Chain A
Amino acid sequence: MARRTRTFSNSFEREKATRVLAAPLPARRHDERGVRPEPAVVGDDCSGLDLPGALERLGGNAALLADLQRRFAAEHADSAREIEAFVAAYCPARAVAALHRVKGAARIVGALALAEAAESAEDAIAHGRPPSLDTFRVELRCALAQIENATFDRAPS
């Protein structure tokens, strides 16, 4: 997949958005051995989260965006597997419904590339075409990794 770059059209800088988001999050949990896990790796082909856009829609409420990101990660970590299972089991309605939910939630947290991939797969299934779930899977992994990294970045040292 070609690397995509995302530019922000307004004056809101990405670094600033990340700093704002950093404040309200609790420290990431250490594992049983007391070792803080490494942040997930964000690949070169990952698009960035549109944090400025997401924040703007929330009226600048960074704490709420952080809560939403956490909820997104908790709810959709297994969504790709779930949707693939629906497709494999010839349950198009359930696959479309699940993709639709991911699409809506992804837009809220600023994962626009994931939302696009979900919409594209949703559209394909709805029209009886085979969906491109590879793209969806990659974008979901990217979004989850970016959210996790953002959470990791915000943890106090």
Chain B
Amino acid sequence: MTEHSGQALVLIVDDEPVNVLLLTQGLRDDYRTRTATDGPSAITIARGADPPNLILLDVMMPGIDGYEVCRQLKSDAATRSIPVIFITSAMDEEAELRGLTAGAVDYIAKPINLRITRARIRSHLRQKQAQDRLAKLSEEDPLTGIANRRRFEDVLAREWRRNLREQEPLTLLMADVDLFKQFNDRYGHCAGDACLKRVAASLALVARRPGDLIARYGGEEFVALLADSTPEGALQAAETMRRSIRELAIPHDASPHGLVTISCGVATLVPAAHTLPANIIAAADHKLYAAKAAGRDAVAV
């Protein structure tokens, strides 16, 4: 569902004005609608800033047909999850099979029955919302709300491949809350959870450029993938993170600093054919231990 309106956006793709009028008028009480009269325009709208929540797609159109439009939408990560319903008068078994194989979720025969069409749209939108919720949950750390380890590993693998291809350096920061076990022992697990939430929120404020990713790696460990970062920029980001946690001023009696602090290891690598994403994790982890060994509340590069 789009943020600027409570109503889902339905994209109607049809070159026949009577069909377009029928669907726009028939759906206007429940949904926002946009229309396209050919495949390329539909794909442009679907990839745009306000993508539709569902697409009603005619099969027979000038230029590229509905099957091809559907295939293109399904082969693009940005539009893959948008449910497509074919609306067509070609209702033989072969045509229906072709539509479903192209990735459509449903097939509605013309002349359409408005009530049935509305019910099907509602049903597919509900299903889509449930899938979106699940997808979000599967990538989000439930305690802190930032990305979880699964999401981090997916993004790292993708960025690793991209930087291998482009021979660009990739930077990973690994941060660990100092003496966190002692914090939990002293203040209890509820306070420990609250502390982790504040630390995560603070780190997320630093790694917020487009392409940056901050994730909870596990326990009190966090990782940050920094997009297009130089070694100097990475060091600066790590220092900013370290300072921002000190500035939270969360009391920690069991720490020699008297406050909650983090240690941070920074690794920068240019991916090579014989290396793996695990190499940069190991390198950042190694630097993190160096920061711990240097007395904690420190950054090691």
Taking the complex as formed, is B89 at the interface, i.e. its CB lies under 8 A from any CB of chain A?
A: yes
- Contact across chains for A108 and B19 when beta carbons are under 8 A apart: yes
Q: Which of B109-117, B144-152, B187-195, B205-213 lies at the binding interface?
A: B109-117
Residue A36 at the chain B interface, CB threshold 8 Å: no
Report the Cα distance A145→B82, complex, angstroms: 42
Pick the contact of B115 from A54, A59, A67, A103 — CB < 8 Å?
A: A59
Minimum distance in angstroms from A24 CB to a CB of chain B: 12
Our pick among B17, B89, B115 for the contact of A100 (Cβ within 8 Å) is B89
Docked-complex contact B89 and A71, CB < 8 angstroms: no
Q: Is B22 an interface residue (CB 8 A)?
A: yes
| Cα distance A71–B25 in the bound complex, in angstroms | 13
| A101 sits at the interface (CB 8 A) | yes
Contacts of A67 in B (CB 8 A): 21, 25
Contact A108/B15 with A67-B21, A68-B21 known, Cβ cut-off 8 Å = no
Instruction: Return chain B residues, CB-CB under 8 Å to A109.
Output: 18
Which residues on the B side are within 8 Å of A71 (C-beta)?
17-18, 21
* Bound Cα distance A104, B15 (Å): 11
Contacts of A64 in B (CB 8 A): 22, 25-26
Chain A residues, Cβ within 8 Å of B45:
none
**Which B residue's beta carbon lies closest to that of A107?**
B111
- C-alpha gap A61/B25 in the complex (Å): 10
Interface centre among A54, A68, A104, A108 (most CB of B within 10 A): A104
Category for how many chain B residues contact A: 10 to 19
Q: Is the CB of B62 within 8 A of A97?
A: yes
Within the complex, the shortest CB–CB distance from A100 to chain B, in Å, comes to 5
Nearest CB in chain A: distance from B194 CB, A: 53
Q: Does A75 contact B (CB under 8 A)?
A: yes
Partner of A107, one of B17, B62, B89: B89
Contact with A along B84-122 (1 / 0, CB 8 A): 000001000000000000000000001111110000000
Contact partners of B17 in chain A: CB under 8 A: 71, 75, 105
Contact assessment for B18 and A68 in the assembled complex, using a CB-CB cutoff below 8 Å: yes
Closest CB-CB distance, B248 to chain A, in whole Å? 58
Interfacial residues of chain A within 6-32, with CB under 8 A of chain B in the complex: none
The answer to whether B283 has its CB under 8 Å from any CB of chain A is no
The CA of A103 and the CA of B91, in the complex, are separated in Å by 14
A77 CB to nearest chain B CB (Å): 13
B201: interface (CB < 8 Å): no
Residue of chain A at shortest CB distance from B110: A104
CB distance from B91 to the nearest CB of A (A): 12
Q: Is the CB of A100 within 8 A of B22?
A: no
| B19 / chain A contacts, CB cutoff of 8 Å | 104-105, 108
Residue B1 CB within 8 A of the other chain = no
Bitwise, B51-86 to A at CB < 8 A (1) or not (0) is 000000000101000000000000000000000000
- Residue-wise, chain A 88-111 has the 8 Å CB interface mask toward B (1 for contact) of 000000000100110111011100
Asked whether any CB of chain B lies closer than 8 Å to the CB of A72, the reply is yes
B232 within 8 A of partner (CB): no
A70-86 contact mask (Cβ, 8 Å, vs B): 1 or 0: 01100100000000000
Any B CB within 8 A of the CB of A58: yes
A-B contact pairs, 5 of them (CB 8 A): A57-B112, A68-B22, A75-B17, A104-B89, A108-B22
Q: Which residues of B contact A (CB under 8 A)?
A: 15-19, 21-22, 25-26, 60, 62, 89, 110-115
